[in-house]
Amino acid sequence: MLATYLIGLREGLEAGLIVGILVAYLGKLGRRDLLGRLWVGVGLAIAVSLGVGALLTWGPYALTFQAQEILGGVLSIIAVAMVTWMIFWMGNHGSSLSRELRGQVDAAVDRSRFAIVLLGALSVGREGVETALFVWANVAGGSEPMLATLGAVLGIATAIGISWGLSKGLVKFNLSVFFTWTGVFLIVVAAGVLAYGIGDLQEASVIPGWGAPAWSLTGIVQPGSVLDTVLGGIFNFTPEPTWAQVIGWVAYVAITLSLYLWMLQRRNRSAVAAATRPASVAPAAAAAPAAVVAPSTTEIRSTQ
């Protein structure tokens, strides 16, 4: 439940920030007449996301067992790829997110009023589809699907409340710290989803090695126990992993976490360099340090 709650919270906050920036900038341009079209696009994105979630939930039941396992394994790996891309994209583009979105709004207004609908749908739809796919992959590997689904819903609801509070100046929230540490947590969660997907492909005989565990921890983590439920629900932990699952988990965490920490270190060095550079050399860099990972509350409200 905690894993899906944080997934819903993080993705919901990203979507909320995007909508907040778009709404505020349209207000600054004096084009509130386009807000209705923007909300139509957001509504379409939500509908598509719910449709993807429903398809993932009920669609596979008509398939054979082997086909279900193959589909589950492939979708789990796709979910890991998407959430990994999201983590690194936010780390690299968070500081310029507001500027990029304002540029897209300007281009959309110049082209056509219906382009605003498309902009809203694409901007929010990406977050929604990522959420649906990753939550489904996490729920599919857990033992408490109802609690995991409830966690995602509560996370999204919390994100909506925080986003509204940020836009009104009622909430002060360090988005940089939040996105940084949830990125680390989601890398570990994604590793568990990857291991689960590998297990599905092994069970379908696509990858060899199913039924030959690398080790057994059932004496420590008894199947069906509270500890097994908690670890399985959050990290897709299994007490008897295969060697392919172990290798996949270790390789993913080692490579992805190393690259992520390197990216954070590089970003922090750039922020320090920008802050210590003489104002006459780079006043713009000093005013907007690269260490900001997401638009601040002030940035969102200043466009209103």
Query: Has residue 299 got a pLDDT over 70?
Result: no
Q: What span, in angstroms and rounded, lies between the C-alpha atoms of 210 and 201? A: 9
Residue 260 in 3-state DSSP? helix
Mean pLDDT, range 43-60, rounded to an integer: 82
- Cβ neighbors of 74 (< 8 A, separation 6 or more) are 197, 201
pLDDT on residue 256: 95
- Nearest one of 264, 278, 261, 259 to 95, comparing CA atoms: 264
Helices 243-276, 175-203: crossing angle, 10 deg rounding: 160
pLDDT confidence tier of residue 142, bands split at 50, 70 and 90: low
Choice between 127 and 40, residue whose per-residue pLDDT is larger:
40
Q: Which of 90-99, 163-172, 193-202, 290-299 has the highest mean pLDDT?
A: 193-202
Mean pLDDT, range 3-19, rounded to an integer: 82
| Average pLDDT value for the chain | 79
Q: What span, in angstroms and rounded, lies between the C-alpha atoms of 123 and 103? A: 13
Residue for token digits 């509504």? 43
How big is the CA angle at 26 (ends 39 and 167), to the nearest 5 degrees? 75
pLDDT on residue 170: 76
Q: Which of 6-10, 257-261, 262-266 has the highest mean pLDDT?
A: 257-261
pLDDT on residue 282: 46
pLDDT on residue 143: 54
Choice between 281 and 292, residue whose per-residue pLDDT is larger:
281
pLDDT on residue 121: 87
pLDDT on residue 260: 93
pLDDT on residue 295: 47
Residue 294 near residue 91, CB atoms below 8 Å: no
pLDDT confidence tier of residue 136, bands split at 50, 70 and 90: confident
Q: What span, in angstroms and rounded, lies between the C-alpha atoms of 69 and 251? A: 23
Task: Give 213's strand partners.
Answer: 242
pLDDT confidence tier of residue 207, bands split at 50, 70 and 90: very high
